[in-house]
A and B are shown apart, each in its own frame.
Chain A
């Protein structure tokens, strides 16, 4: 397939993992992979994941992030090149940016893709619909296409054959009116790993019986180096913040390991976690729907099982480090 471009998302100089996932996916589609970075970036690192060229988009009006201005800049670059395909990691930033670029370059937009292939010419993707109840194969009907990839569905892999990519600069024309929205400040949830960025997510549901018992979920998550998630039932009850909600109307996560504790497995919850690599569940009801999607499960009381799990996990971790 012809050249594929990848948007480089970075924050404070750190390139986000979905960018590496998109580079790896791009490499499987095309020999020529162009990474598009707003401002300076670690080109060598991008090369390691498959970028053959890096384009640094430079403009004084791009120093403060504005999705509007970045879209204008990237669209100008795409129009000036022969590139027909742009891949973007489907992060909060990517999902806001990608459709805007698609309009500006008159491209079809394919969001939330979990599989990608090419029929030689055009890209074909698979995306879940209706909370994952069905999947659709999608293709663009336009010459250009912008694709957003669901994070953690494509494995980021460095390539043996990586050469240091060539780096060039592109100077777009940006005016003040192109940045009528700007990012002023980021407030981090300090000291808390986010379910969207964690390799392991441990979630608690109504079976935890009350907010005070979430300390068990926290301890299990911390023993595993994972993040704490929650079902909507417990978020609605005010036991946990909305930022932890996993599900169709919360966050869609695809960690390596998802552990559901005292969660029944309603379809809306499954929508947010069924693409996890490995799913484990603890529930006292052997008929709970969560077991139908679980790789590993324990039928038991969370209050008895979780402390024992923590103990055994700590023992394994200790054995591994000693």
Chain B
């Protein structure tokens, strides 16, 4: 099975992110970047599917030169090959176009990704890539079974789970709980450092949406904080009832 796993390089969630003075751009200087947490599950799932079905796992990122770091992580975990589309200026659609193009060249049977990139939390990549490839997709998958070319998956929805059936080739985005990602071993980390990383030619795609103004939200909260005496608890409940009218 040809497996493509797409991974993204994102600011650490603890990073401070603000805007430049006039709000025309984000201030991302000095921000620490990490492998998108969900993509660890995608890499692990790719390796497990390869263990079952044989084949090759290729890790791909669309990003800046420094994103190569996460490809090394994927290699150390066990990916066979790694590739980068060296661009950090594409919008989500442009990223999808490049992922789809690569999936086509390698003739991917299974394209795996995380359910969301924790930078923009778009939840869109699996559906977008699948639509570009004219393939089925299932997003936010917490359980995946593939036998022959039949795919059975479970995904989380409001108040429960869905069980879906599909056929290969397919695009799947995964959710925490699907597996426990392995830790790469030190010798594998060392070996991964010297493995080649394929640099893929960028497919240009005109952006489809534009983010044109950024702001730091001003949280307008009342901040009425009380102690824990009986009277104060009573007042807290009264305010929720009479002032906020939410209970």
A interface with B by C-beta (< 8 Å): 67-68, 71, 91-93, 95-100, 102-104, 107-112, 128-142, 145, 180-189, 192-194, 196-197, 200, 224, 242-243, 248-249, 252, 256-257, 267-268, 271, 274, 277-280, 286, 291-301, 304-305, 308-309, 312-313, 316
Return chain A residues, CB-CB under 8 Å to B232. 298
B164 touches A181 (CB 8 A): yes
Contact with A along B142-162 (1 / 0, CB 8 A): 000000000100011111111
A interface, over-half SS: mixed
User: Which chain B residue has the least Cβ–Cβ distance from A236?
Assistant: B176
Q: If A187-B160, A298-B227, A313-B237 touch, does A181 touch B166 (CB 8 Å cutoff)?
A: yes
Q: Is the CB of B17 within 8 A of A111?
A: no
Show 18 A/B contacts (Cβ-Cβ < 8 Å), sorted by A: A95-B123, A95-B139, A96-B140, A97-B127, A109-B124, A112-B123, A129-B214, A130-B119, A133-B18, A134-B216, A137-B214, A139-B210, A180-B135, A183-B164, A248-B13, A294-B225, A313-B237, A316-B247
When A and B form their complex, what is the total count of cross-chain residue pairs whose Cβ atoms lie within 8 Å? 262
B contacts with A: majority SS: mixed
Q: Mark B194-221, 1 if CB is under 8 A from A, else 0.
A: 0000000000001111111111110101
Q: How far is the CB of B109 from chain A (nearest CB, A)?
A: 13
Question: Sorted from nearest, which 10 A-B pairs have the closest CB atoms?
Answer: A300-B228, A103-B131, A181-B136, A181-B166, A108-B208, A194-B159, A257-B246, A99-B127, A92-B157, A137-B213
> CA of A279 to CA of B167 in the docked complex: distance in angstroms?
45
Q: Are B158 and A196 in contact (CB under 8 A)?
A: yes
Q: How many residues of B contact A (CB 8 A)?
A: 83
Q: Do the beta carbons of A99 and B124 come within 8 Å of each other?
A: yes
Residues of chain B whose beta carbon lies under 8 Å from any beta carbon of chain A:
11, 13-19, 26, 37-38, 92-93, 96, 118-124, 126-128, 130-132, 135-140, 151, 155-167, 170, 176-177, 206-217, 219, 221-228, 230, 232-234, 236-237, 239-241, 244, 246-247
Whether the Cβ atoms of B219 and A180 lie closer than 8 Å is: no
